[in-house]
Amino acid sequence: MTVRVDRDKETGVAVVTLDREHRHNAVDLETAAELSEVWREFRFAGEVRAVVLTGAGAAAFCTGIDRGVDVPQPASPYSADDPLIAIGPKSCDLWKPVVAAVNGMACGGAFYLLGEAEFLIASETATFFDPHTAYGMVSAYEAVYMAQRMPFGEAARMSLMGTAERLSARRAHAIGLVSELTAPDELLPAALRAAQTLAGFPTEAVQGTVRALWSAKQAALQQALAQAPALIALGNLAPERQAELFASRRPGTEFRLR
C-alpha cells in the first residue's frame, strides 16, 4: 500500500498519508488508484467526518507524478489519459472537508490534491513550485487549480518560472494560499485540531457548506480544465526530449526562494 489511512472513530477524523517517502511521495499508478479508492470509500464511511491529507516524512508533501511511471496513451489525438485526474477528493465526489498539511516540497501534480482541499496548513519549511516549463511541459491542470487559489500574478509566476523559483511557506501564507503556518513538529497537530473541530459539527451542515463553497467556482473550473488536454497536446515536447531535460538537471542547483 502506498497510501496509509488512520481513522479515529472517537473524533471522526481520518488521516490520509502519501506513504512513498523514498520517492518524495511522488504518485505512481498504484498510488493514484489507492487515492481514488480512499476518497470514494469515505463517501460511505459515516465515522469519517473530516480528513487530514499529508505526506510521509519531512522532505516532501508530494512531488507529483513519479517520473518512472509509464502511462500508455491512446493513438487518437482527441484522447489523453491523465493518471492524476481522479486523485483529488472532489473529483471522486467527496464533499467532506479535507485539510491539507503540507510538509516540505509540494510541486507539479501535488496541486491536483492541494487544489481540491478546503484549506492548507503548512510547515514553515514547506515550499511550492511547478517544474513543468523547465522540462518542456505545459502546466495546465496544475496552473488552473492554483489560479483558483492564488492571486493571478502569483499563480502565473509560479507556473511559468519552473524550477528557477520556489514559493516559500511564508510567502504562500502572505498571499492566502496557506491559511496557517506552523513549526515542523506542530504541523500535524494543527491540522488535526482544525479537522476535529469540523468533525465535531453536524456533518450535513459542514458538507453542505463545502458544496456551496465549491459551487461558487466549479463552473469556471470545469470550463478551464476542459481546455487542458488540448493545450498539453499542443505545447508538450516529445517525451524523449522531456526525459533528456529531466536527466540533465543538476540536483542541488540553487533556486531562488521567495
Helix, strand, coil fractions of the chain, as percent rounded to 5: 45, 20, 35
Residue 121, pLDDT score: 98
pLDDT of amino acid 252: 59
Q: In this predicted structure, what is the pLDDT of residue 254?
A: 66
CA 76, CA 80: separation in Å to the nearest integer? 8
* pLDDT tens digits, 163-209: 999 999 999 999 999 999 999 999 999 999 999 999 999 999 999 99
- With contact defined as beta carbons under 8 Å apart, do 5 and 16 qualify? yes
CATH domain 1-66+84-183+205-250 topology = 2-enoyl-CoA Hydratase; Chain A, domain 1 (3.90.226)
Q: Name every residue whose Cβ is closer than 8 Å to that of residue 76 and which is 6 or more positions away in sequence.
A: none
- Locate the domains of the chain by residue range: 1-66+84-183+205-250
Per-residue cell: 198 = 469540523
How many CB atoms sit inside 10 A of residue 255's CB? 14
For the beta carbon of residue 189, count every other beta carbon within 10 angstroms.
Answer: 12
Which regions of the chain are under pLDDT 50?
Answer: none
Burial 219-246 (b: 16+ CB within 10 A, else e): eebeebbeebbeebeeebeeeeebeeee
**Three cell numbers at 3?**
497510501
Q: How far apart are the first and last CA of the chain?
A: 36
Q: Count H helices, E strands: the chain?
A: 8, 11
Q: Which residues are bridge partners to 169 per DSSP?
A: none
pLDDT in tens, 77-96: 677 778 899 999 999 999 99
DSSP 69-121: ------S-TT----TTTT-STGGGT--S-EEEEE-SEEETTHHHHHTTSSEEE
Joined grid coordinates for residue 245:
531535460
